[in-house]
């Protein structure tokens, strides 16, 4: 039977979960997949983590160099997070001919070409299922099960923290700040939640998914990004009345040889499959030209869900004689490949003075910018009236120009929010 030695870098939440699965499932993996996967090295500053897993302290390495030189290590699993030293450690592993498995989405999306170049030189494998969607097998679905398709569209909820916050705001009518505090107390959100709530985490994941979907690397800095911090309980309640659910979506679409890539809050029709993905769950909705619509749903984070994806990669890697190469990742998209002026429906909420002609003035601005109105709602509120508009499909630049001009109208007190609508 083939024996495969695994080194784990970092025994925190994800690394510890991965180690536990490898230990508990070792016999099952031997019987079902014909490989004996053993943890032969660990790199961690806390030796008690090694002991808590029932592992021998003899496998605790003192440096990455020691692991790179260890003949009993075939696969290096990185669960450290951050850009450095994770990237440098993985490059050392690849240069030593050891395959790598990582859950580090930011490092991977920013360093993919460099990692692939190092892997190609030695024939080592590069595996990253756990970077996108936690326990959902979305990477292998796209690389191993979609060969008959040109992927036309991806819509994804791929950040559990923001989905948890938005679910509770929708269900309870509570404010963003109040729910964020609860999310931090429960461990769903970091003390500094910027990476999640401002959409960075989703952008890293969309970069990886889009690069695979469109066979050309999509650098993360070409993805349009907005976070959820401006969403209010009032907008969410109005959206409900209009038949919408709010989600932070990662969206990529292929149109006429160009790519539309964006991460931002969206009002989704209640009958869309993604509308019922709640709490910390993730889902990826993919449209292929042959298969049509498919959706994967599951837990997007946590020790065991993420560990599940990592162990899947380890076993898959262990059974390969030749590893897949990603030479197309060196071919990067540029700004010329991106559709910046994308089309969407829009929800606009503003406050205006209750005077004659204010609606006509706003309508005049919309007409000037070729913005067509699908719905309008006007509520009474003393001298200041809230007005809600939902548009038909409109260009992004036209809508933003119209909103800027509307905000400057004499009797418009404030523009409260602009949210895109996906149907």
pLDDT at 398 over 70: yes
Tokens of 78: 């990185």
Say what the pLDDT of residue 210 is.
96
Query: Hey, what CATH class is 343-422 in?
Result: alpha beta
Say what the pLDDT of residue 381 is.
67
As a whole number, mean pLDDT of residues 113-141 equals: 94
Query: What distance in Å separates the CA atoms of residue 324 and residue 313, rounded to the nearest whole number?
Result: 13
Query: What distance in Å separates the CA atoms of residue 6 and residue 35, rounded to the nearest whole number?
Result: 12
> Which CATH architecture is the domain 2-134+320-324 placed in?
3-Layer(aba) Sandwich (3.40)
62 touches 36 (CB < 8 A)? no
More confident site: 380 or 415: 415
Query: What distance in Å separates the CA atoms of residue 78 and residue 313, rounded to the nearest whole number?
Result: 12
**Residue ranges of domains in the chain:** 2-134+320-324, 138-299, 343-422
Tokens of 123: 């024939």
Tokens of 113: 């070409």
Nearest 5°: phi and psi at 202?
A: -65, -35
Say what the pLDDT of residue 274 is.
96
As a whole number, mean pLDDT of residues 224-253 equals: 95
Say what the pLDDT of residue 105 is.
95
Q: Would you please indicate which residues are annotated as catalytic (active-site) residues? A: 205
Convert the pLDDT of each residue in 314-368 to its tens digit. Answer: 999 999 999 999 888 889 999 999 999 999 999 999 999 988 899 999 999 999 9
Query: Hey, what CATH class is 138-299 in?
Result: alpha beta
Query: What distance in Å separates the CA atoms of residue 109 and residue 246, rounded to the nearest whole number?
Result: 27
């Amino acid at each position: 039977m083939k024996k495969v030695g695994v080194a784990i870098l970092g025994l925190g939440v994800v690394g510890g979960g991965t180690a536990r699965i490898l230990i508990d499932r070792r016999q099952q993996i031997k019987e079902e997949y014909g490989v004996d996967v053993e943890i032969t090295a660990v790199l961690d500053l806390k030796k008690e983590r090694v002991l808590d897993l029932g592992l021998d302290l003899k496998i605790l390495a003192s440096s990455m160099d020691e692991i790179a030189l260890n003949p009993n290590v075939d696969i290096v699993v990185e669960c450290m997070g951050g850009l450095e030293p994770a990237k440098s450690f993985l490059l050392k592993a690849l240069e030593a001919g050891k395959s790598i498995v990582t859950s580090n989405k930011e490092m991977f999306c920013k360093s993919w070409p460099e990692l692939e170049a190092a892997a190609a030189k030695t024939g080592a494998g590069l595996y990253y299922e756990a970077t996108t969607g936690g326990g959902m097998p979305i990477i292998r679905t796209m690389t191993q099960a979609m060969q008959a398709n040109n992927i036309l569209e991806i819509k994804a909820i791929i950040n559990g923290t923001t989905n948890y916050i938005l679910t509770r705001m929708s269900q309870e009518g509570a404010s963003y700040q109040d729910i964020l505090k609860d999310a931090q107390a429960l461990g769903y959100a970091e003390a500094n939640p910027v990476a999640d709530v401002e959409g960075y985490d989703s952008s890293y994941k969309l970069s990886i998914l889009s690069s695979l979907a469109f066979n050309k690397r999509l650098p993360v800095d070409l993805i349009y990004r907005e976070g959820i911090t401006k969403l209010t309980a009032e907008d969410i309640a109005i959206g409900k009345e209009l038949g919408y659910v709010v989600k932070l979506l990662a969206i990529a679409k292929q149109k006429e040889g160009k790519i539309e890539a964006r991460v931002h809050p969206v009002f989704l029709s209640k009958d869309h499959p993604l509308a019922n993905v709640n709490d910390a769950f993730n889902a990826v909705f993919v449209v292929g030209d042959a298969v049509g619509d498919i959706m994967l749903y599951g837990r997007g984070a946590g020790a065991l869900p993420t560990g599940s994806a990592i162990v899947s990669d380890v076993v898959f890697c262990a059974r390969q004689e030749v590893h897949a190469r990603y030479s197309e990742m060196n071919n990067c998209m540029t700004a010329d490949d991106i559709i910046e002026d994308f089309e969407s429906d829009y929800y606009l909420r503003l406050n205006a003075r209750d005077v004659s002609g204010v609606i006509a003035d706003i309508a005049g601005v919309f007409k000037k910018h070729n913005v067509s109105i699908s719905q309008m709602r006007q509520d009474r509120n003393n001298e200041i009236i809230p007005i809600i508009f939902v548009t038909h499909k409109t260009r992004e630049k036209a809508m933003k120009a119209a909103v800027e001009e509307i905000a400057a109208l004499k009797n418009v007190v404030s523009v409260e929010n602009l949210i895109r609508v996906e149907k």
